């Protein structure tokens, strides 16, 4: 789907505030509410807007330890790849999972209470997946930038 300058404005505003009312969004973009609603529905239906979420403060939910984990598979067989993907999808600790190039095969973003909880996750979940041959962990000391907005130009 192609989108115009108005669609770009809508997407940028919604990324900043997904709870903005249709009337306020229409006012900011310069449309009346009915065509605004149609545009948003079109962006949702096309899959450009995939979902609306609430971003939580990790400290306030007692999940302030973030660890990036790179994984290397022992074998690159379709069965192994499918098994690994299925396992990752079922781990509540895994916020994001990427298939990557280079020496490692996957990069995970893991959020847990503390290093002890991560150790338990690593030993009792990740290390039990037979297809994984190497696990490398990178504990986040501090977050310098945390942004979810992709600028639409």
Digit-coded pLDDT (tens) for 62-77: 999 999 999 999 877 7
What pLDDT band is residue 25 in, cutting at 50, 70 and 90?
A: very high
Residue 3 pLDDT class (50, 70, 90 cuts):
confident
**pLDDT at site 30:** 96
Rounded Cα distance, 142 and 47, in Å:
33
Measured CA to CA in angstroms, residue 123 lies from 98, 138, 143, 148 at distances of 21, 16, 26, 30
Which domains does the chain possess? 5-45 (1.10.10.10), 58-139 (3.30.70.920)
The string over 94-133, giving b where at least 16 C-beta atoms fall within 10 Å of a residue's C-beta and e elsewhere, is: beebeeeeeebbbbbebbbeeeebbeebbeebbeebebbe
pTM greater than 0.95: no
The better pLDDT of the pair 76, 116 is held by: 116
pLDDT at 153: 82
101: pLDDT confidence band, cut at 50, 70 and 90? Answer: very high
């Amino acid at each position: 789907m192609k989108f115009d300058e108005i669609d770009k404005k809508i997407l940028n505003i919604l990324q900043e505030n997904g709870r903005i009312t249709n009337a306020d969004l229409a006012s900011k973009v310069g449309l009346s509410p009915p065509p605004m609603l149609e545009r948003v529905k079109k962006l949702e239906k096309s899959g450009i807007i995939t979902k609306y979420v609430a971003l939580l403060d990790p400290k306030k939910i007692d999940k302030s330890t973030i660890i990036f984990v790179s994984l290397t598979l022992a074998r690159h067989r379709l069965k192994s790849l499918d098994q690994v993907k299925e396992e990752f999808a079922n781990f509540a600790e895994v916020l994001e999972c990427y298939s990557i190039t280079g020496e490692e095969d996957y990069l995970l973003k893991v959020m847990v209470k503390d290093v002890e909880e991560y150790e338990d996750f690593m030993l009792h979940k990740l290390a039990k997946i037979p297809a994984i041959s190497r696990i490398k962990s990178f504990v986040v000391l501090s977050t310098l930038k945390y942004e979810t907005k992709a600028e639409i130009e």
